[in-house]
Structure 1
């Protein structure tokens, strides 16, 4: 693992960063330092040296380590996809250096760690690649105002970009491809029961999500927007998942996404049937708008297959008051719009489609 110290640049050295193609963002107060990391140096060491409001700028190269962020208002930034974080090449029995040890041991690339009681404020991760980690490329929990932008999350074992127990996030302009679970995963908690979290306006927008098991998963969450994403080549596109817990999942908007040809086959597991050809699916949710999406060419024979699908949850909880309006849904199979639920107040209006299930929604 690299140990050489990073170079520290005051904000006055912005001209140097601009020459490198990365003008630093402005920080409140104007007193931030930028810690410059070269190939062969330790990103974690620079992160540890940073103070609230500082930035860590990582030059192009491959850095074989995991990085854990616990400092508020920190920016970790690369210079584009050529700044690559990949798993460390550790010898058997050799522990990862602290404090990244817990992140590396969990199998994640970048961990952004706060707690619900003491959220980690204002962290930004931008303009870099996280590739090939056993679990999540970016794993965030207990954050407030996290920004993930311009990240390439590639070929990670579980989620490309994952966020739990967090509020007011912006996950925008990223590429998540080839991840074992979701490209972008947002949940109250992945492995705990409980009601949906109010995300206070989180936005998942303008991402390209392809070749994953699922493009976007919103599980047990409320008050957020999924918009302007390009979602294709997954087993399923956008999944909004709830159940019998309260508060229920929902009170969110899925709009203006292009969800097409999500026809990869993913085998069943103990909780779920096989997935193939699912565009936008809602299960066990409430009070959600699905509007102005373009949903095309999603075809399969799974219970979840079709363009825009309403399906009761695994425990039988129906969707309620879902509004499906003004979508273009064509060439999906077995139906462009499918209401396979029995929930109250679900409506389909103003959509352009060829086949609906039951008939009459086009």
Structure 2
């Protein structure tokens, strides 16, 4: 072997050695799953204690099992992550008054204030069930993400928020809740015009056996997309009133709304409801497109497939676009336009009956 070949071989060995050293250093420096900033909670331990200890950007991880407590989140950037449906949060055996969430009868609360809006909180992959009020309740938040959460058999709302912007509710299940499975509002304790949600997204959720599948009340600028809504008294309610701006400016597309035929008694805000698919009361400039609305059957004032009626305070629907929906087997009719209002258009829908006639 020539001297030149020997020098070349030594250079290759030196480069390989340096590369191995660098890779080794990188491996040592790289964080492992065990060193991620997280707080692990086991059944029998306190979720609240871990949440209170978490800083922005940290995660509270829950192992499978049942946790009997309410959980109050008041720190931005915190993630509460379960291990799937078998991570269950339910009420304690005895009354808990340790925080406002527990005192008010909710399961999980994400609560900011007017002066300090809570940002980028995430709740994922768990079940919240059996609470007398709401499964998950959020107020004064921005960028809240709720994914893979099952809200079952709670007294009022399954998943709910008010005074909040840019939320995403995706891939959740809400069943057996006393009112809406998923509820969004400008404010539940005050009147006023509809608020801009900043593009909140409600997508890929399954909502069944509630009073109403989804209620959006006095809000604007959001998307309701690709949800499966069945076996409620009503599928989807868009609720406005006489205040300005009106509810609306939303996109309702690609949802399957089927057999929402339970009968629910009247309340101070609504008459009895049964067989209602998608209902607009006092909405403006919303687009309802490409939905399957099938076999929603009833004889109540809001029964039918896609129904436009005046709100309880007489607010009218104006400038809404209802197009390219597939409507079959709904009663009192597939398309229902009652109570006045102007500028509403019906185009390209596949349907069999309408009130008044001629809209199919």
TM-score (norm 2): 0.90
- What SS does the corresponding residue of 2:296 show, helix, strand or coil? coil
- Looking at structure 1, the residues matched to 189 and 342 of structure 2 have their Cα atoms a distance apart, in angstroms, of 29
Give the drift of 1:85: 0.2
- Looking at structure 2, the residues matched to 185 and 332 of structure 1 have their Cα atoms a distance apart, in angstroms, of 24
Name the structure 2 match of 1:294: 292
- Looking at structure 2, the residues matched to 96 and 192 of structure 1 have their Cα atoms a distance apart, in angstroms, of 26
Name the structure 1 match of 2:37: 33
Name the structure 2 match of 1:88: 92
Q: Which has the higher helix share?
A: 2
Which of 40, 56, 64 aligns to 1:52? It is 56
5 Å-filtered alignment, 1:7-156, equals 12-14=31-33, 33-90=37-94, 95-97=96-98, 101-156=99-154
Name the structure 2 match of 1:243: 241
- What SS does the corresponding residue of 1:226 show, helix, strand or coil? strand
Deviation by residue 1:51-76 (Cα, 9 ceiling, x = unmatched): 01000000001000000001111100
5 Å-filtered alignment, 1:196-275, equals 196-275=194-273
- Looking at structure 2, the residues matched to 13 and 78 of structure 1 have their Cα atoms a distance apart, in angstroms, of 20
Deviation by residue 1:71-123 (Cα, 9 ceiling, x = unmatched): 111100000000000001116xxx533xxx21011010000001244210000
Which of structure 1's runs of 4+ aligned residues deviate more than 4 A? none
Whether 1:175 aligns to 2:173 is yes
- Looking at structure 1, the residues matched to 32 and 276 of structure 2 have their Cα atoms a distance apart, in angstroms, of 50
Name the structure 1 match of 2:164: 166
Name the structure 2 match of 1:22: none
**Higher mean C-alpha deviation, range 108-117 or range 215-224:** 108-117
- Looking at structure 2, the residues matched to 360 and 190 of structure 1 have their Cα atoms a distance apart, in angstroms, of 39
- Looking at structure 2, the residues matched to 32 and 196 of structure 1 have their Cα atoms a distance apart, in angstroms, of 41
Name the structure 1 match of 2:7: none
Give the drift of 1:341: 2.6
- Looking at structure 1, the residues matched to 326 and 132 of structure 2 have their Cα atoms a distance apart, in angstroms, of 37
- What SS does the corresponding residue of 1:104 show, helix, strand or coil? helix
Does structure 2 conserve the Cα–Cα contact (< 8 Å) formed by 1:116 and 1:165?
no
- Looking at structure 2, the residues matched to 286 and 32 of structure 1 have their Cα atoms a distance apart, in angstroms, of 47
Structure 1 residues 170 and 348 mapped into 2: Cα distance closer, same or farther (>3 Å)? same
Give the drift of 1:192: 1.4
- Looking at structure 2, the residues matched to 287 and 114 of structure 1 have their Cα atoms a distance apart, in angstroms, of 31
**Higher mean C-alpha deviation, range 156-165 or range 82-91:** 82-91
- Looking at structure 2, the residues matched to 116 and 196 of structure 1 have their Cα atoms a distance apart, in angstroms, of 18
- Which structure has the bigger radius of gyration? 2
- Looking at structure 2, the residues matched to 254 and 117 of structure 1 have their Cα atoms a distance apart, in angstroms, of 32
Which of 321, 333, 356 aligns to 1:323? It is 321
- Looking at structure 1, the residues matched to 54 and 116 of structure 2 have their Cα atoms a distance apart, in angstroms, of 20
Give the drift of 1:326: 0.3
How well do the aligned residues superpose, as a CA RMSD in angstroms? 1.2
Name the structure 2 match of 1:6: none
TM-score (norm 1): 0.90
Deviation by residue 1:168-219 (Cα, 9 ceiling, x = unmatched): 0000000000000001000001231111110000000000000000000000
